Structure 1
Amino acid sequence: MLIAGHETTAAVLTWSLFELVRNPEIMKRAQDEIDRVVGDRAPTYEDIKEMKYLRLIIAETLRLYPEPPLLIRRCRTEDNVPAGAGREATVIRGMDIFIAIYNIHRDERFWPNPDKFDPERFTRPYTNPDVPDWAGFDPAKWENKLYPNEVASDFAFLPFGGGARKCVGDEFATLEATVTLAMVLRRFDFEFDESKFAGKDDIFSEAKGLNHPVGMRTGATIHTRNGLHMKVKKRQPTTAEHKP
């Protein structure tokens, strides 16, 4: 419970800041949205509903860096299950089933340009005729919810699993991460402290498209190998028209 309730959210926030610093135009747009909606006060639930772009940033971070990157289930009874392309796979009682969420989330069959940090991908419909058993991604299926989910993606987006055993804390976790990121971005600007990464590299990260010496390693969550060292500068939120 300690890992599920703390390390996962911390990891999501770490990678959110990593991608925002790598994509300053996205960070600027997020800060503008926060300034416009929240101004210089603490965000409310109603504010979160208005900050769609920030919510998309959290969702895209969860796509690229799902926490955890792997789900494990144990079969309770023998069964035949769909295996794609019209095939079936037989699972037997007691068999452990590993679901590689990280690989699914970066599979180009489901996500165009999968290694790119693109929060607005969740606003665009996508289908792939080369995957006939996949219904595609339909933004209309999550428009009445705060965050994209497994239903909208036909189970190609599974940061919290899906079905009867889906994580019970998914809504709390995403709201917690969104509120925290909003408060941090409202008050501070960030940039990499490149001096801390001198002489460090990470072959695994380069192979996965990370291309930064911060490095990547996995355990219960995906976290940095060399730490995420930043230069932090205080910023003054723009005074904008917002609800009291």
Structure 2
Amino acid sequence: MGVLSNRIDREVLKPGDHIYSWRKAYVYAHHGIYVGDDKVIHFTRGEGQEMGTGTVLDILLVSSSLNPRHPPCPNCAQQQGSNGVASSCLSCFLAGGYLYRFEYSVSPAFFLAKARGGTCTCADADPAETVIHRATHLLENGFGCYNIFKNNCEDFAIYCKTGLISADERTIGQSGQAMSFLAAAFSSPLRLATSNVYGMAVTAIGVYCASRYAADVGMRSGVMKVSVEDLTGRLGGVNGMLSRVTSVAD
């Protein structure tokens, strides 16, 4: 692996690895945790979650689901739950795509050299056994409601690897690729700040890189380490409250 690509062969996979595969012609990647025995635990849209925004962002929503061109094998199809966290064989997870491994503990220079978000972080990863414990616990208990910017498949995998979540629920999650889309959208208007084509390019690239770096889970403030048991307990309380509100409304 290196600056240009994180692509790896299956033979070098280790339990606890954070892996991903590109979807939609490299528009978006789907992330998960390899737990061994050819199994990957990953976060997808649960039934009825984030069904559409009516914008181009729906491409990302579809990409977070299993690829309809590569339906799950009979064994994996029987294991799909309703809470959004699923266990699939590696082939079903890849859905015909190539295998990539997310990198942790990278230097700031290496992070900035990666032009594409959602491939690495400056944050340190926890031991493999801790990562697998978090992933298997979330498989049984869920990871909340899927959200493109605050709670997506990359957020799930990064939490499993680090135990870090944002302390402020109003902010975006840990997802590097979501931040890349936001940074690109934010930097575009700034190109109008100068009529010089080179100045426009430098301004846009500078804002894009600075935004990605500042939002990385390994660099940003306002993140905290939370045990998976505390996390699911908190999510269970929120989901229970929402269920009671819905029942009263009905």
TM-score by length of 2: 0.25
Work out which structure has the larger RCO, using CA pairs closer than 8 Å and 6 or more positions apart in sequence: 1
Q: Point out the structure with max Rg over C-alpha.
A: 1
